Amino acid sequence: MRAAVYYANDDVRVEEMPLPRIGPGELLVKVLASGICGSDVMEWYRSGKAPLVLGHEIAGEVAAVGDGVDSWSAGDRVVVSHHVPCDTCRYCHAGRHTLCRTLRTTNFDPGGFAQYVRVPPINLESGGVLRLPDGLSFEEATFVEPLGCVVRSFETAGFRRGGSVLVLGSGISGLLHAKLAKALGCSRLIAADVNEWRLEAATRFGADVAVDARENVSAAVQQANGGRGADYVFVCTAALPALETAVGSVEEGGTIVLFAPYEPGTRSSMPIDELWRRQVTIVSTYAAAPHDLASALDLIGSGRVRVEDMITHRLGLEQTAWGFELVARAQESLKVIVEPHR
C-alpha cells in the first residue's frame, strides 16, 4: 500500500509500505478520508519521532476482520479513534478519561495518511470504533475526532445554555468551538483572530462579532455583551498574548479554557490577585473520550453541527505534502482532507 510519511513539515513523502497484518480481535480499515490536524504540523512535537505516518482523523470501510470479531463485518462504514482509555484506572473511574496513561499510548497502525490501518483490539473494546449513519459522508466523519475534543472542552468548562462565549483563535478548532457554542444555545458569540479571512469565516459560521485580536478585544466583548465580559473564554491559539486577552475579557465568576497545546517550557505571568478577586476559573482540556466522540457523531449526523462547509481542500495522497503546507501556513484554509484512494 501507499502512505504519506512525515519527516518534517516541508518534507512529506509518499512511500510504499507493507499492508498491515491483522490478528485476533483486530480490524483492517480502508481509509477513505483523513483530516490534517493542526497538531500534525507542530514540529516541536513531531520531529523527534520522525519518520512516521501521521493522521488521526479518519473514516473509512472495514476491509477485513480478525478472529473473534463478531460486531463488525467487511464493508461497514466506520470512524476510528486513535486514542482510547483503559476504563479501569483511577482517572477513568473519576471520569477523567483523557488523563488515562493508556489513552496516551494507544494508536492505530500506521496512521491515517495511509491507504489502510490496523485497528488494535483495545480500540474495539473501548468504544474507539463507531458506525457511521446512512447519509453521512466519510469527509464529514473526519470531524468526529476534532469535534469530540471540542465537546470535551465545553464539558470541562461546565458550559450552561445562555452563557456568552469568546473564542480566541479562529482556526478549525476555534471555529468548531463557535459552531458548538451556537448549537448549545450561547447568548452571544464573539470570535477573535489576526487573520481577516478566518474572521470572515467565523462570521459565516455564526459569530455575532468577529474582532481583530490585535485590537481591544475586551472592549469589543463588553460592547457586544451588554457591558459584561464573556462567561466562557476558549483559548484556541498557542499565541501567548491570547492569555492576557482571556484574563481581560472574562466575566467575574467566568471560566477560561486552555484548549490549544503549548510548546514545552512555555511560561506566562498572570495577575493572580485579580483572578482570585474576580473568582475566575482556569481549566485545561486534552483529547476526547469515547463518549465525547459518540456525542460528536450524533451532533454531526443529526445536522446540529454542520461541518461540510468547513472543508476547504480535498486532496489525493500524492498531494499530502501540499496539505501540510496549507495547514502549517494557517492562512486561507480550514479543514484539509486527504483521500488516500483518490
Locate 53 and state its grid cell: 505516518
End-to-end CA separation in angstroms for the chain? 13
The dihedral of CA 51, 56, 58, 64: what is its sign?
A: positive
The 10s digit of each residue's pLDDT in 293-336 is 999 999 999 999 999 999 999 999 999 999 999 999 999 999 99
pLDDT of residue 48: 86
Residue with cell 479554557: 257
Residues of the chain with pLDDT under 70: none
Q: Give CA–CA dist 112/116, Å, rounded.
A: 8
Cβ proximity of 106 and 123 under 8 Å: yes
Are 63 and 74 contacting, i.e. CB atoms less than 8 angstroms apart? yes
Residue by residue, DSSP assigns 221-244 as HHHHTTT--EEEEEE----THHHH
Q: Which three cell numbers stand for residue 65?
A: 476482520
Kindly state the cell numbers that stand for 89: 484506572
At 317, the amino acid letter reads L
Q: Which CATH topology does 149-284 take?
A: Rossmann fold (3.40.50)
Q: Read off the pLDDT of residues 205-243 as tens digits, 9 standing for 90 and up.
A: 999 999 999 999 999 999 999 999 999 999 999 999 999
Residue 56's pLDDT is 97
Among residues of the chain, what percentage have pLDDT more than 90? 98
CA pair distance 17, 70, nearest whole angstrom: 29
Distance of CA 255 to the CA centre of its chain: 20
C-alpha to C-alpha distance for 91 and 336, rounded to whole angstroms: 34
Instruction: Return the C-alpha cell found at 96.
Output: 477523567
In the chain, where does DSSP find H-type helix? 43-46, 90-93, 121-125, 138-141, 144-157, 172-183, 196-204, 217-224, 241-249, 272-277, 290-301, 320-329
The residue extents of the domains of the chain are 2-143+307-339, 149-284
For the record, the C-alpha cell of 138 comes out as 466519510
* Nearest in space to 117 (alpha carbons), one of 106, 132, 102, 105: 106
Confirm if 192 and 126 have CB atoms less than 8 A apart.
Answer: no
Contact 299, 154 (CB under 8 A): no
2-143+307-339: CATH topology is Quinone Oxidoreductase; Chain A, domain 1 (3.90.180)
Q: How many CB atoms lie within 10 A of CB 301?
A: 17
